[in-house]
Structure 1
Amino acid sequence: MKGRIFSGVQPTHTLHLGNYLGAVRNWVRMQKEFECIFCVVDMHAITLFQEPQALRQNTREVTAAFMASGIDVSHSIIFAQSQNRVHAQLAWILNCVARVGWLNRMTQFKEKAGKDRENASVGLYTYPVLMAADILGYRATHVPVGEDQKQHLELARDIAQKFNNDYGVDCLVPPAPVIGGPAARVMSLRDGTKKMSKSDPSDYSRINMTDDADTIALKLRKAKTDPAPLPGAEVLDAKGAVTAEAEAARPEAYNLLAIYAALSDREIGDVINQFAGREFSAFKRELTDLAVAVLGPIGAEMKRLLAHPGEIDAVLSQGAARARALSEPVLKEIEEVVGFLSA
């Protein structure tokens, strides 16, 4: 094994195609190379108010998505963050290591808090420290991150290094990033300049992992395009990637082509050459067939699991026990380093 992976997803909405292509599918592949811990980060979710019953349902739904996508619970750990108190306890210690100036530089807090920053929760402000506790509490060596989380991972590294330096120990492991591959950033079906998001008010902006074949077909048929035929090899640079100028001119076209490439595990240049000069209507039919073939079985298994919540809860309970077994000795060592008396 190359090391230990830790990653998580907030249970705030239904997972969608962007989550699958950008994260979950890659996690399934990582199981062959890494020891993997996958967390439904419900403690992070409540930095913004969540309706309690919806939070419980969404936690089960995210877990079902992990399982249906191919995460092997006999090998990898799946659990809910709140099921392991180590996360909260370690976060407090790390809050006392992190500096206010570091948190003030976190751009995601500024984006989420908006202009009414004084009314944002303290949890939203210290969110990156809890994320550091998530990672450092398991001595994870690698963390899959997108562009929006790279700054938080750097903070986790800074906290680990400062703790080690302050106490003269080599206790916390600064984690390394694992940057997502092709199609790690899937864009909205309604606006190719915006990332596909769970929070977009239009359900037609995304393909949910629970969507059935008819819904997938409808959403792709309604996906925004432009009147020109699909582009050809002239838009590719010397490395076979789409030029920035071409992508900026037709963002929706390249988003759909990139989705096709990702779902078929091919390079974008190969897909562009295959469909060069074709009309969008014909391309969308082929994209629909591919999306249904890949996502259909996942959605069906998710629905089966969600109809049997006890099966999901058992997986989470077993995963939480395994997570505690890994993290409690780390917390105990940290508490001894800090100078806390044993319980």
Structure 2
Amino acid sequence: MRRVERPAPGGQNADLRGWDAPGRSAARFLRLVRIFSGIQPTGRKHLGNYIGAIQHYVAGQDAGESIYCVVDLHATTVPYDPRELRERLYDTAAILIAAGLDPERCILFRQSDVQEHSELSWLLSSVTAWGDLNRMHQFKEKSAAQRDLVSASLFTYPVLMAADVLAYRATTVPVGDDQRQHVELMRDIAERFNARYGEILVVPDGQFPEVGARIMDLQDPARKMSTTGGSVEGTVYVLDEPKAIEKKLKRAVTDSGTEIRAGADKPGVTNLLDILAAARGTTVAEAQASMADARGYGDLKAATAEAVIALLDPVRTRYEELRTDEDRLEAVLAAGADKARAIAADTLADVRRVMGVGPAR
């Protein structure tokens, strides 16, 4: 686990002596680079998920202590099929491992296996403003799509998301660009809790991808690539065969003219350049420069398809080996849950103590 010098509350470096003193939990953990992020087990994982989240999870294994959670509780906030939920959970776990997550170098677990998430969510709801939840963009979007029932859990979803992170006193939260509002809310919740009860929780920083932050639908560059609101033709799935990837990218919508450059007036080309840069691990400017001698958009599409296939094909191959062994996947998730529970239980004990909940320690 890597330690970095971070200022403790009050502007002084945390003293290594007294790390275990009551009431100093947040200060002692400020020295740890601890990364936490969660991923839903719903839908088929697509290129946007891979570039915007999964790649950063893998890189995070070398940046500090990394904790990654498949958030099955979040998936219950909207109508779903229980059997499919379990299948998708295994799919997601296998994709994460196939992409490079190493259970020996990180903590990978299933959210519902660690009950501290649910209890901490309830306790944090006492310092969460109703008005803040009512302003959440994703609640407005998802509730508008529900025909029969808008669940209370959909409304309080951001509190559980805050608990997911704050339970581990994470310093860094790598998420997609669309999660900025949720990260700001969890920071507000942590600050409000600390102001009322003392410095117990760590206020995390969001980490957002600079390249590929928003991968758009290939058929509608004004809409984010998605398994729920997008088109099948415009969505590249992580497990797509190379020929399917090539076909989708060759049919990608571009723009008028022939100039290959990024810009607000060229959303289709910009999206392809974003994908090309992310797949190659370069900047958009470098991706654009590499197409200086291109004969037209066809060359851009071909280069992008080649880069995406090179990026995803090894993951698909490894996934096929892993997915058939559900017992092995369960063992990985269970072992990760044991490690996660040990950390979350410590945080929850501190929260209970300062809030006066349960027996005095």
Same fold by TM-score, threshold 0.5 exceeded?
A: yes
User: What is the correspondence of 1:23-34 to structure 2 with a 5 Å cutoff?
Assistant: 23-34=53-64
The answer to whether the 8 Å contact 2:223/2:230 transfers is no
The answer to whether the 8 Å contact 2:52/2:175 transfers is no
Give the one of 67, 74, 78 matched to 2:97. 67
Give the one of 78, 89, 107 matched to 1:48. 78
> Displacement of 1:118 after TM fit?
9.4
The answer to whether the 8 Å contact 1:110/1:117 transfers is no
State the TM-score, normalized to the length of structure 2: 0.86
The answer to whether the 8 Å contact 1:9/1:41 transfers is yes
Determine what percentage of the aligned residue pairs are the same residue: 40
Deviations, residues 273-296 of structure 1 (Å, cap 9, x unaligned)? 221352222332222222211110
State the TM-score, normalized to the length of structure 1: 0.91
By percentage of residues, which structure has more helix? 1
The aligned residue for residue 275 of structure 2 is 259
Give the one of 352, 356, 361 matched to 1:335. 352
The aligned residue for residue 191 of structure 1 is 220
The aligned residue for residue 149 of structure 1 is 179
User: What is the correspondence of 1:223-262 to structure 2 with a 5 Å cutoff?
Assistant: 223-226=252-255, 228-231=257-260, 242=262, 247-262=263-278
Q: Alignment partner of 2:68: what SS?
A: strand
The answer to whether the 8 Å contact 2:35/2:67 transfers is yes
RMSD: 1.8
Counterpart Cα distance in 1 of 2:290 and 2:193: 53
Q: Alignment partner of 2:210: what SS?
A: coil
The aligned residue for residue 17 of structure 1 is 47
User: What is the correspondence of 1:316-327 to structure 2 with a 5 Å cutoff?
Assistant: 316-327=333-344
The aligned residue for residue 216 of structure 1 is 245
Q: Which amino acid aligns with 1:340?
A: V
The answer to whether the 8 Å contact 1:189/1:220 transfers is yes
Give the one of 274, 285, 288 matched to 1:269. 285
With over 3 angstroms needed to count, the CA separation of the structure-2 counterparts of 1:172 and 1:300, relative to structure 1, is same
The answer to whether the 8 Å contact 1:38/1:79 transfers is yes
> Displacement of 1:117 after TM fit?
9.3
Q: Which amino acid aligns with 2:161?
A: M
User: What is the correspondence of 1:147-186 to structure 2 with a 5 Å cutoff?
Assistant: 147-167=177-197, 169-186=198-215
With over 3 angstroms needed to count, the CA separation of the structure-2 counterparts of 1:161 and 1:118, relative to structure 1, is farther
Give the one of 78, 82, 85 matched to 2:115. 85
The answer to whether the 8 Å contact 2:217/2:230 transfers is no
With over 3 angstroms needed to count, the CA separation of the structure-2 counterparts of 1:117 and 1:133, relative to structure 1, is farther
Unaligned runs of 5+ in 1: 236-241
Counterpart Cα distance in 2 of 1:186 and 1:137: 30
Deviations, residues 95-143 of structure 1 (Å, cap 9, x unaligned)? 1221212212222211211287994100000001001110111111111
Give the one of 93, 96, 104 matched to 2:134. 104
With over 3 angstroms needed to count, the CA separation of the structure-2 counterparts of 1:36 and 1:115, relative to structure 1, is closer
